Structure 1
Amino acid sequence: MTTEASFSHLDIETLAGWLDGDRSLTLVDIRDPQSFAQGHIPGSRHLDNAGVAALLEEAPRDVAMVVVCYHGHSSQQAASWLSAQGYGEVYSLDGGFTDWQHRLPSRVASAG
């Protein structure tokens, strides 16, 4: 028997509002390290296969988790997987970082 993991879709306006309102959430970016270094949503942490164990250990299960990728496609698979790991409120950002950067260019952080 398999349990269907569930996640929700999240639009850019809602995420921006949550960040403005200081809502508790874990924001993970699953793009490649170079893309993340060049620009990411402030407050997000880069997540790759090497960092999954640390994330599962550190991120509270009772806080919303938002997964960001390039365009909002691969984040859906990651969000579904994270939901199956016991996170109760998991979101995939529709449009991904590409749409965020296009619509909210002043709200992009970079490393360096």
Structure 2
Amino acid sequence: MKEITANELAEKVKEGKKLSIIDVREDEEVAQGKIPGAKHIPLGQLPERLKEIDKDQHHYMVCRSGGRSGNACAFLTDKGYDVTNMQGGMLDWKDNVE
């Protein structure tokens, strides 16, 4: 599984690159703040919301600590998606949130 640190992803966000970041945490977790521009799709909803995820694009998966996003990466990789897990999740995210 491909992985990226929170700091590395924060640098990409700061560079203004067009990124697809998918936050798989639950609603109450996301309400406390998410990475600016991240799309919220709770892990349990991934199977029925696959059509919302562009198969031709690379996606960065995020959760609280990196476990659920790792599971999301495994699931999406099996479905043919190009994904990278953010290690340490939002616990390691030190940048702005929305």
More helix by share: 1
Q: TM-score, normalised by structure 1?
A: 0.76
Task: Quote the Cα distance in structure 2 between the aligned partners of 1:33 and 1:99.
Answer: 19
Match of 1:27 among 18, 21, 38: 21
Deviation at 1:91, TM superposition (A): 0.8
Task: Quote the Cα distance in structure 2 between the aligned partners of 1:98 and 1:74.
Answer: 13
- Which amino acid in the other structure matches residue 78 of structure 1? A
- Which amino acid in the other structure matches residue 30 of structure 1? V
Deviation at 1:108, TM superposition (A): 0.8
Change in CA separation of 1:42 and 1:53 when aligned onto 2, cut-off 3 Å? same
Match of 2:91 among 83, 98, 102: 98
Asked whether 1:18 is paired with 2:7, we answer no
Sequence identity of aligned pairs in percent? 30
Q: Unaligned 5+ residue runs, structure 1?
A: 1-6
Q: Unaligned 5+ residue runs, structure 2?
A: none
**Do the aligned residues in 2 keep the contact of 1:26 with 1:44 (CA within 8 Å)?**
yes
Task: Quote the Cα distance in structure 1 between the aligned partners of 2:11 and 2:56.
Answer: 20
Q: TM-score, normalised by structure 2?
A: 0.85
Task: Quote the Cα distance in structure 2 between the aligned partners of 1:63 and 1:24.
Answer: 10
Change in CA separation of 1:11 and 1:30 when aligned onto 2, cut-off 3 Å? same
| CA RMSD, 1 decimal | 1.6
